[in-house]
A = this chain, B = another copy of it.
Amino acid sequence: MQKKKMTNPLHRRKKSRAKDKIGKAPGTVTYLGDREKTQSTVHTIEYDDESVAEDFTNDIDAILVHNDSKSTSWIDVVGINDEAYIENLGKRFGLNSLLLEDAVNTLQRPKIDEYDNHIFGVFKMLYINDAEELVSEHMAMVLLENTVLVFQELKEDVFEGVRTRIRTKHGRIRTRGADYLFFALLDAIIDNYFTVLEHINHKIEVLEEQVYENPKPEVAQKIQELKKEVLKVRRWIFPVKELVSRLIDTESPLIKKDTKLFLRDVLDHSVEINETLQIYREMSMSLMEMYMSNMSNKMNEVMKVLTIMASIFIPLTFIAGIYGMNFDHMPELHWEHGYLYVWGIMIFLLLFMLIYFRKKGWL
Contacts and interface: CB of A to CB of B under 8 A. Distances in A.
Interface of A: 11, 14-15, 18-19, 21-28, 96, 98, 101-102, 107-109, 111, 113, 158, 160-162, 164-165, 170-173, 184, 187-188, 191-192, 194-195, 197-198, 201-202, 205, 212, 214, 217, 220-221, 224, 227-228, 231-232, 235, 261-262, 264-265, 268, 271-272, 275, 279, 282-283, 286, 288-307, 309-311, 313-318, 320-330, 332-334, 336-339, 342, 360-362
A299 B298 contact: no
A217 B293 contact: yes
A330 B294 CA distance: 48
Contact of A314 (B202, B279, B314): B314
Nearest to A331: B339
Copy number in the complex reads 5
A307 B302 contact: yes
Leading 3 A-B pairs by shortest Cβ distance? A23-B161, A25-B171, A320-B321
Contacts of A275: 109, 235
A286 B327 contact: no
Contacts of A232: 279
A130 B40 CA distance: 39
Nearest to A161: B23
Contacts of A264: 113
Nearest to A22: B191
Contact of A339 (B14, B228, B318, B327): B327
A265 B27 CA distance: 9
B109 A272 contact: yes
Contact of A24 (B161, B300, B310): B161
Given A15-B198, A288-B289, A23 B162 contact: yes
A328 B321 contact: no
Contact of A300 (B107, B111, B295, B332): B295
28 contacts: A15-B201, A15-B202, A19-B198, A22-B161, A22-B188, A22-B191, A22-B195, A23-B161, A26-B171, A107-B272, A231-B279, A292-B296, A293-B295, A295-B297, A298-B300, A299-B303, A301-B360, A303-B307, A310-B310, A313-B314, A314-B317, A317-B318, A318-B320, A323-B326, A325-B339, A326-B326, A327-B342, A329-B337
A283 to B, nearest CB: 7
Contacts of A330: 326, 339
A275 B334 CA distance: 79
Nearest to A340: B329
A113 B267 CA distance: 13
Contacts of A327: 323, 332-333, 338-339, 342
Given A195-B22, A283-B228, A328 B338 contact: yes
A218 to B, nearest CB: 10
Contact of A322 (B187, B299, B320, B362): B320
A271 B212 contact: no
A101 B299 CA distance: 52
Given A227-B286, A311-B309, A326-B326, A268 B111 contact: yes
